[in-house]
Amino acid sequence: MAFSSTIDTRPTVMGNLLMVTGTWNASGVTSGSIDLTSLLADIVASGVMQTAGSGASAAGVDGAFVQNTGAAALSVTCVSGQTGLWWAMGRRN
């Protein structure tokens, strides 16, 4: 199994910033990377949300977390089998 992600085809432009969204699926793994270098020069803010009922306890235990790793990449850490949504806002490439 592997980590997979999608990037929505219609990003939102806000001045010199671009908001990109998508989905992720951690099938059999507990982490994965989302490479946005084709769209963003760097990331200024990001977030990740797990889909309800996708393998986590309540109240933030075993939730999904995101970290900006490098110029325009996200690292998602989660529980194996979780799915969810992600977003990133950054300067356009």
Least confident of 26-30, 41-45, 86-90: 26-30
Tell me, what amino acid is at 13?
V
* Residue 28: per-residue pLDDT: 87
CA gap 35, 72 in Å, rounded: 7
**What's the CATH number for 3-92?**
2.60.40.3940
Contact 36, 74 (CB under 8 A): yes
DSSP per-residue codes, 40-93: EEEEEEEEEEEPTTSS--STTTT--EEEE-SSSEEEEE--TT-EEEEEEEEEE-
Is the pLDDT reported for residue 17 higher than 90? yes
Residue predicted with more confidence, 1 or 39: 39
Structural domain boundaries in the chain: 3-92
Supply the pLDDT for residue 44.
94
For residue 58, the model assigns a pLDDT of 55
Q: pLDDT for 37-87, tens place per residue?
A: 999 999 999 999 988 666 665 555 667 888 888 779 999 998 888 899 999
- Using the structure block, give the residue that is written with the tokens 């020069």: 41
